[in-house]
Amino acid sequence: MEDFSQARLFLIAGTIFSYGALLLTSSVSGFPLSFEGWLYEAAAFATAVCAASFLALRFNFHQLRPMIECCGCGLLLVVPITLSTYLSARTNFPLADHQLSGWDKWLGIDWSAMMAWIDRHYLLSEALNKAYRSFAYQLLLCPALLVLSNHHRRAYQMVGAYALLCFLSSAISIFFPALGAYAYYQFDASSLQHINATYGYLFLEEFHAVRNDPNFIWRLPESQGIVTFPSVHAAVAVLCAWALWPVRLLRYPALVLNLAMGFSAIPAGSHYAVDVIAGMAVAVASIGFVTRPVGQRSTALSAPATPSPVPTQS
């Protein structure tokens, strides 16, 4: 049976640690939180995950336990991940839109022209709209599909890498807060015929509030994805494509879907092209972190010991 104990430990310990670290950071920094609607529910859900995991182990439901733990930790991580993005925005660094736009131009990308070209193609626009909205569904389904396909270790690694890339993106976004391309270019979303621009503006109220309102209180139900650079959508696209690559039946459909989801961050998510490139880099780094140490240790443990040379008499 596949050994996934180290990946499992990393995910579970990381989930617990993230709650403690983020709550402590919020307390020390004086960042006001509303516990209504998530703290007791999270505690109850964590208890249910532990109980279900124990019962699955007790009654030898080997497929069920990794699924419960991976999907359960993934859902529990929503709270500290979302909170980390707001703590990052609260540092109130100067807006970086001019810099991000300049990097796009240096790459030879005309954002407005690209948007107009995409919007002229109905099928492409609809495909990107739907791919963008597949984000949450993929995060929930991929670990379950990996477990059902007997890729348990990769399921744990995927959720662990997701948490890592989100926290890393939050840390990077401290220095690159941005309104996004729609707002920066003052793009008239009403001129769009096929691209759904909802998510390009939806986050702005929360983004401005956490940065500028001294009476702001963080509430999970009202939270939005407020990180522009790097693009978490693009990072998750790389993660999901990598995660499902060993599942032959899903390999290429997942690749196509996630190529579309990564690119869709530009028209549907108000991202600059450089946000997508940075998101991909963050995903690669996170995947490397959760896979290489485990693989190296496993190889070291499984390798036979080299016998010491026996001295011979001359």
Cis status, amide bond into 230, omega within 30 of 0: yes
Q: What is the pLDDT of residues 170-192, one digit of tens each?
A: 999 999 999 999 999 988 878 88
Task: Please check whether residue 156 lies inside any domain of the structure.
Answer: yes
Among the residue ranges 56-60, 80-84, 266-270, the one predicted with the least confidence is: 56-60
Task: Please check whether residue 311 lies inside any domain of the structure.
Answer: no
Among the residue ranges 32-36, 109-113, 247-251, the one predicted with the least confidence is: 32-36
Over residues 114-121, mean pLDDT? 91
Instruction: Indicate the helix (H) or strand (E) that contains 158.
Output: helix 152-173
3-state DSSP assignment of residue 33: strand
Q: Residue 311: which pLDDT band, with cuts at 50, 70 and 90?
A: very low
Q: Residue 205 and residue 186: Cα distance in Å, rounded? A: 16
**Domain residues for 110?**
5-296
Q: Residue 64: which pLDDT band, with cuts at 50, 70 and 90?
A: confident
Q: Residue 173 and residue 171: Cα distance in Å, rounded? A: 5
Look at residue 36 and tell me whether its pLDDT is greater than 90: no
Task: Please check whether residue 313 lies inside any domain of the structure.
Answer: no
Q: Residue 61: which pLDDT band, with cuts at 50, 70 and 90?
A: low
Q: What is the pLDDT of residues 134-164, one digit of tens each?
A: 999 999 899 999 988 989 999 999 999 999 9
Task: Please check whether residue 70 lies inside any domain of the structure.
Answer: yes
Q: Residue 265 and residue 283: Cα distance in Å, rounded? A: 15
The reply to whether the predicted model has a pTM over 0.85 is: yes
Task: Please check whether residue 172 lies inside any domain of the structure.
Answer: yes
Look at residue 54 and tell me whether its pLDDT is greater than 70: no
Predicted confidence at residue 48, as pLDDT, reads 67
Domain count, the chain: 1
Torsion of the alpha carbons at 300, 301, 304 and 310, rounded to the nearest 10: 80
Look at residue 43 and tell me whether its pLDDT is greater than 80: no
Q: Residue 33: which pLDDT band, with cuts at 50, 70 and 90?
A: confident
Task: Please check whether residue 65 lies inside any domain of the structure.
Answer: yes
Look at residue 301 and tell me whether its pLDDT is greater than 60: no
Task: Please check whether residue 301 lies inside any domain of the structure.
Answer: no
Identity of the amino acid at 111: W
Instruction: Indicate the helix (H) or strand (E) that contains 150.
Output: none
Identity of the amino acid at 25: T
Q: Residue 32 and residue 162: Cα distance in Å, rounded? A: 26
Give yes or no for a contact between 27 and 214, defined as CB atoms under 8 angstroms apart.
Answer: no
Task: Please check whether residue 234 lies inside any domain of the structure.
Answer: yes
- Please count the other Cβ atoms lying within 10 Å of the Cβ belonging to residue 57: 13
Closest to 26 (Cα-Cα) out of 85, 83, 111: 83
* Token pair recorded at residue 150: 């007997």
